Structure 1
């Protein structure tokens, strides 16, 4: 009986190895967003680092290991996964995504990582407008409500006049839109939205 020669498995090509590395390379990137746990509770979050296969988050409410999580991240959009491990001040998520989606995330992360060094325009810099209705109520996490008036607004944030200036980094609701206080100016504050306003909703008749 003649045994067939056992041939060693072919080594992956350089292109395949590069694609695999690209899918799993972790990038330090700070993106605002929201996440929904299995019980449908939603909370704000911020990324610490991310790869096409996983993301590490800073957040207040921790879930359980292997709990399903739905994430909405600026520049990335909607992604899903399961909690892989709990960390001080947050947790790490193992993403569930198709190969096509992972490649898309890899491209987005590459752009984000190189944006500053290459002098590329920042994705959240948008045209600003003043809506017809400028009065709005700010709702702090404590439940306190503060009256404010919109100076101008973009798809990514809003400048407001208000008699109360919450601390920088404070999460709050501008009407029904979640955001975070990112700057002060005389007589008001700047708020960055957790997720950009959809372009088809961005017009002078919008309400937050």
Structure 2
């Protein structure tokens, strides 16, 4: 996917080996590691499948290799393309398949309120360090999935076999139902608001 509609601010597009991509505003926290292995907290303001703009106390050099772990996105590796007073632009070094999945994640992040995905802003959203899990249908069918977003009220999962909307299922010990499909998976709404202890046990 080489372009998609989204909010854009700092720079309209970026050129990468995959083509031209438009950035979306995501405002996500994360951590990054510079080439000298120093680690810093960071804040990703905008991102596309080709690059991202990061605010960070760490100051890399131009073309330096940086590895970042971004909430709701995961691991990103790239090289510094440009620096300014408050941050820098980092390329996204990835395969075409990885870019396609990243584009789907960014679309979901930019538009989830319009898609009606289960998000209650009163409930904190979590991104587990171990994102691989599985869903279990009522007939015992199991599907491996990847957790993209998790809160006390629901989850978004990347799963190849998408059960129909309304399908009851279980994610860990949390029972819910499919309420929406999106490009890479499904949104689940839990049957009851989960406790923080339940989520900690699951994670």
Q: Please, what TM-score do these two structures have when normalized by structure 1?
A: 0.50
Deviation per CA, 1:15-38, whole angstroms, max 9, x where unpaired?
xxxx32247121011111000000
Q: Please name the residue that 1:86 is paired with.
A: 83
Instruction: Detail structure 1 runs of 4+ shifted over 6 Å in the superposition.
Output: none
Q: How does 1:1-208 map to 2 (within 5 A)?
A: 19-22=1-4, 24-122=21-119, 125=125, 202-203=200-201
Alignment deviations for residues 85-108 of structure 1 (CA, whole Å, 9 cap, x no partner): 002211110110000100010000
Offset at residue 113 of structure 1 (A): 0.4
Tell me how large the CA RMSD over aligned residues is.
2.6
Q: Distance in 2 between matches of 1:122 and 1:65?
A: 38
**Number of residue pairs matched by the alignment:** 116
Q: Which runs of 5+ in 2 are unaligned?
A: 5-19, 127-149, 152-198
Structure richer in strand, relative to its length: 2
User: How far apart are residue 80 of structure 1 and its match?
Assistant: 0.1
Q: Quick check: which has more Rg, 1 or 2?
A: 1
The DSSP-based 3-state class of the residue aligned with 2:97 is helix
TM-superposed deviation, 1:203: 2.0
Alignment partners' CA distance in 1, 2:119 and 2:79: 30
